Amino acid sequence: MINLDTKLEKLPRVQKNYFKKLAKLNLFTVKDLLKHFPSRYEDYSKIFSINQLQPNLESTVIGTIIDIQTIRTYGRKMLLTEALLEDKTGTIKIIWFNQSYIGRSFPINTQVRISGKVNDKNNELSFSAPEIEKANRIPTNTGRLVPIYPETAGLTSKWIRWQIQIILDKKINLPDPIPQSILKELHLPNFKTALRMIHFPKKMNEVILAQKRFAFEEMLILQLTTLKVRLNFSQQKSPEIKFDKKLIQKFIKTLPFAPTDAQRKSSFQILTDLEKSTPMNRLLNGDVGAGKTLVAVIATLQCINENFQVTILAPTEVLASQHFKTFLDFFEKYNFEIGLLTSTYKTYGSHPALTKKTTRPKMLELIKSGKINLIVGTHALIQEDIEFEKLGLVIIDEQHRFGVAQRSAITQKENLSRKEKNLKPHLLTMTATPIPRTFALALFGDLDVSVLDEKPLNRKEIKTKVISPTNQKSIYKFIKKEIEKGQQVYIILPLVEESEAIKKVKAAITEHKRLQSKIFPDLKLGLLHGRLKSKDKENLMTDFKNKKINILVSTSVIEVGVDIPNATLMIIENAERFGLSQLHQFRGRIGRDEHQSYCFLFSENINSERLQAMEKYNDGFKLADIDLKLRGPGEFVGSRQSGLTDGAMKNINNLKLVTLAREKAKEILKNDFELNKSLLLKKIISELKSVTHL
C-alpha cells in the first residue's frame, strides 16, 4: 500500500524514462506530486453543441468520431491526425500534431468529449490539438475546470493529472498535519478533501478554499518552527555585558558627525540586550547608506571594553577587508587588537599603520588566547579548528548570504575561559536589504528587529533617471565632465561573458573593451567580476578608492563592496533585468558623501513600473514594498534560497494569515511544546530546513 513517503519510481505506472523529468520539478515522492499544485485552470466546464461554438473561446463539445486518419505531411517529418466530430447540430474538424495514438485510441463511432480553443480559418471553425476523452469516463482533462501544472520537457499537465487521479482513487492514508479542532474552528477542509478540491475542482470557489487551507498549513508549520527555535534559544544562557553609558557617550563625542536618531535608538536596544543573561537575537535592518556599521562599532566597543571577544562574519573577502579597515580607523585611539581572517588574508593590528601579516596557525593561537579582541572574516571563521577565549558577540553582515547551518555554527563556538559551560554568545545580524513588515514577521517571527530608516544629514538624495539607449551619448558627455571635476563612476552590467541565450545583453568584458577604446579612450577603466581572484578584486577596489581608476565596469558583485565616497555617478545597463531591491543596492554604492550623485538606468523599457519607482523613491523600505507587490515574494527573496515552500512564499505578505497562523502555533505549543500529540507536525518540522534567524 502506498503512502505519502512512497517514491514515485515505485508506482506501477511511472516508467523509468520519467524519473529524471520528475526530478527536474523536484518531484520524488507521492507527497511531492500531490503537493505539486496547479498554476492555473482552463475552464472547460460549459458544454456547447457544435452549432453554438464561437471563435477563440475555450469550449467543450460531446459528439461521435465519424472519420479519423493519420498521415505524414509531405516533405516534413510530422504526423497529422485529422478527425471529424458530429453531434445532432453539425460537424467540426479536429487536428492533432504528432499524436498518432489518438487514431488508435479513438476509432470511428467512438463517443468523445473535446475541450480546447475554437479556431476560425477562412470562416471555417475547427479545433487544433484539443484535449480528448471518451464521453463515458469521468472528466479529467475535458468538460470541467482543468488544472494546468508547472511542466518540464516530456512531462505534461495531462500526465501529471493522470497520475494524481490514480493516487487519489486508491485507498491511500492521507493524515492531516493540522489538528482537527483548528480545521473546524477556521472552517477549512481536511487534507484529503483539499487535495481533491485543488486538483479536480468542480467550481473555482473550491480552488480558493483549498488554496487558503494549504497556505494556512504552510504558514502554521513555518510559525511553529520559528517559535520553537526562538523559545529554545531564549532558554540558553549568555554573558551579561554591562552597558557603560559614559564609555559610549565619550566615544560618540569623538565622531566627526552626529549619529541619526535611528542609529541612537538601535544602539540603545542592542546595548540593553547585551546586559541580559539570555542571548540577544536581533536583526539590524537598515536601508543602504543608513549607517549600520556605526551601530556594530558601538556594540563591539562595549563588548571589548568588558573583556569579551567579538567576531564579524562577512559574505565576501572584499567586504571583510573593508570592515577590518573601518574598525581599525574607528578604534585607532583604543588599544584593541583586530584580526582579519579569510582564505587569502591573515593579518592583525591595533592601528592601520601597524597591521602585521601572519600564518593561519599563529592567528588561531592569538584568537584562542584572547589576544585578538575583534576577529573579522568570511566563511573561514566557521572552521572547526577555530576556538575563542571569551566570545561575547557574533555579528553577521548580510545574513541572508549565509545558510542556517553556517549561522548556527558560529554561535555554537566554545569559550575556553568560562567557568560556567554552555554560555552562548549574543547574536546580531545585519542586512542592508530592507524587509517589509509582514515579510519579517513571517520569516523571523518574534525576532527583535532594529530598523535604520534615516540617512545621515549630510547626504544628498541621489538623482535617478531612466535613460533610453538612444540618449546614451548625452550621458557619456555628462560623465566626462563630472570626471574632469574629479568624480568617479560605476557602470554595472548583468553578465561576465556573451551568452547564446541572452545575446542582447551586453557582457562586462565586451562592454569594458568598447568603453575603453571608443567612448573613454583618455580615461582609466577597471573591470570587476566574480571570476577574478580575491586578491585581484582587492587590488582593483584599492586602486579605485585611491582614484587610480576613473570608471569601474562591474557585474553585480559590486552590490556589496567597498565604499568609495568619491564615486558619484552610476550607470546600470539593462536595468530592467534587475529587481527593485537589487537596483537600490547598486545605487547605494554611490552618494556616500556630501557631493550630489546621479544614477542612470539604461533600458529600452523606459515606462517600466519598477524603473519609474526607482526614479520616484530613494527609500529602500518603500521600494521593498513595491518590489514585493510587483514581483511577488518568491522572486523578491528567492523561495529556494530562503527555504520557504512556494505556498508559504505566495502568502507571506498576507498579514492576516501570518498573524492567524502565529496565534494558532502559540496555542499548540502552549499545550504541547514537544508536539507529542501532533506527531505528523513534529515530523514535518524536524525535516524542515529552518529559515529562522538561527
Identify the band that residue 317 occupies on the pLDDT scale cut at 50, 70 and 90: confident
Measure the CA–CA gap between 126 and 132, rounded to whole angstroms: 14
Q: What is the DSSP letter of 637?
A: I
Q: How far apart are CA 281 and CA 189, in angstroms?
A: 37
How far is CA 518 from each of CA 473, 485, 514, rounded to the nearest angstrom?
Answer: 12, 21, 6
Exposure class string for 545-571: b at 16+ Cβ within 10 A, else e: beeebbbbbbbbbbbbbbbbeebbbbb
Whether residues 410 and 526 fall in one domain: no
Bigger pLDDT: 310 or 424? Answer: 310
Residue 283 located in a structural domain: no
Distances (CA, A) of 513 to 88, 360, 479: 71, 39, 17
The answer to whether 60 touches 50, Cβ cutoff 8 Å, is no
Could you report the per-residue pLDDT of 193-218, keeping only the tens digit for each?
A: 999 999 999 999 999 999 999 989 98
Domain boundary among 587, 617, 647: 617
Report the C-alpha gap between 16 and 448 in whole angstroms: 50
Residue 610, SS3 per DSSP: helix
Question: What CA–CA distances, in Å, run from 419 to 64, 235, 239, 409, 422?
Answer: 87, 19, 12, 22, 10
- 177 vs 645: CA distance, rounded Å: 16
Work out the pLDDT band at 403, boundaries 50, 70, 90. very low
Q: Are 610 and 542 in contact (CB under 8 A)?
A: no
> Are 162 and 303 found together in one domain?
no
C-alpha 297/C-alpha 280 separation (Å) is: 16
Asked if the model's pLDDT at residue 385 lies above 90, the reply is no
Q: Is 297's pLDDT higher than 80?
A: yes
- CATH number of the domain where residue 124 is located: 2.40.50.140
Task: Tell me the three-class secondary structure of 131-163, residue by residue.
Answer: EEEECCCCCCCCCCEEEECCCECCECHHHHHHH
* Rounded Cα gap, residues 176 and 620, in angstroms: 41
pLDDT level of residue 571 (50, 70, 90 thresholds): very high
Lowest mean pLDDT among 54-63, 80-89, 638-647: 638-647
- 417-429: per-residue pLDDT in tens? 665 567 889 999 8
Return d(Cα 4, Cα 29) in angstroms, integer: 7
Write out the three cell numbers for 405.
547551518
φ and ψ at residue 384, rounded to 5 degrees: -65, -25
Cα–Cα nearest to 519, from 544, 493, 553: 553
Instruction: Please tell me whether residues 519 and 477 are part of one structural domain.
Output: yes
**Buried-state track 660-681, b at ≥16 Cβ within 10 A, e below 16:** bbbebbeebbeeeeebeebeeb
664: confidence class by pLDDT, cuts 50, 70, 90: very high
Q: Is residue 439 part of a domain?
A: no
pLDDT band at residue 506 using 50, 70 and 90 as cut-offs: low
Domain boundary among 601, 617, 633: 617
Percent of the chain with pLDDT over 70: 88
Q: Please tell me the predicted confidence (pLDDT) of residue 500.
A: 43
8 and 154 fall within a common domain: yes
In a domain, residue 625? The reply is no
* Cα 22 from Cα 386, distance rounded (Å): 42
- How many whole angstroms separate alpha carbon 335 and alpha carbon 374? 12
Q: Tens digit of pLDDT for each residue in 591-604?
A: 877 789 999 999 98
Q: How far is CA 652 from CA 66, 610, 648, in A?
A: 53, 21, 6
Sheet (strand 356-357) strand order: 356-357, 346-349, 338-341, 374-377, 309-313, 391-397, 426-431, 281-286, 448-452
Q: Are residues 18 and 58 located together in one domain of the fold? A: no
C-alpha cell at 555: 557585474
Range of the domain at 106: 46-143
**Does the residue 121 lie in any domain?**
yes
Whether residue 20 is found in the same domain as residue 157: yes
**CA pair distance 321, 350, nearest whole angstrom:** 15
Average pLDDT, the chain: 86
Domain C-terminal end among 123, 143, 163: 143
> What DSSP assignment string belongs to 443-508?
HHTT-EEEEE----TTPPPPEEEEE-GGGHHHHHHHHHHHHHTT-EEEEE-SBSS--STTTTSPBH
Do 1 and 18 lie in one domain? The reply is yes
Residues contacting residue 570 through CB under 8 Å, at least 6 positions apart: 489, 490, 491, 492, 586, 587, 589, 590, 597, 598, 599, 600
Q: Is residue 380 part of a domain?
A: yes
Q: Is the pTM of this model over 0.85?
A: no
- Would you say residue 74 lies in a domain? yes
**Both 79 and 34 in a single domain?**
no
Residue 126 falls within a domain, yes or no?
A: yes
Same domain for 319 and 303? yes
Domain CATH number, residue 325: 3.40.50.300
* Range 257-274 burial, b when 16+ CB lie within 10 A, else e: eebbebbebbbbbbbebb
> 679: Cβ–Cβ under 8 A, 6 or more apart, which residues?
none
Pairing between strand 426-431 and 281-286? parallel
Q: How many domains does the chain have?
A: 4
Is 432 within 8 Å of 286 (Cβ atoms)?
Answer: yes
Do 418 and 506 belong together in one domain? no
CA–CA distance, 651 with 441 (Å, rounded to integer)? 12
Residues 499 and 583 in one domain: yes
Please give the average per-residue pLDDT across 37-56, as a whole number: 93
321 and 425 both lie in a single domain: yes
The pLDDT confidence band at residue 692, using thresholds 50, 70 and 90, is very low
Compute the average pLDDT of residues 488-494. 90
Whether the predicted pLDDT of 461 surpasses 70:
yes
Whether 350 is in a domain gets the answer yes
Rg (CA), the chain: 31
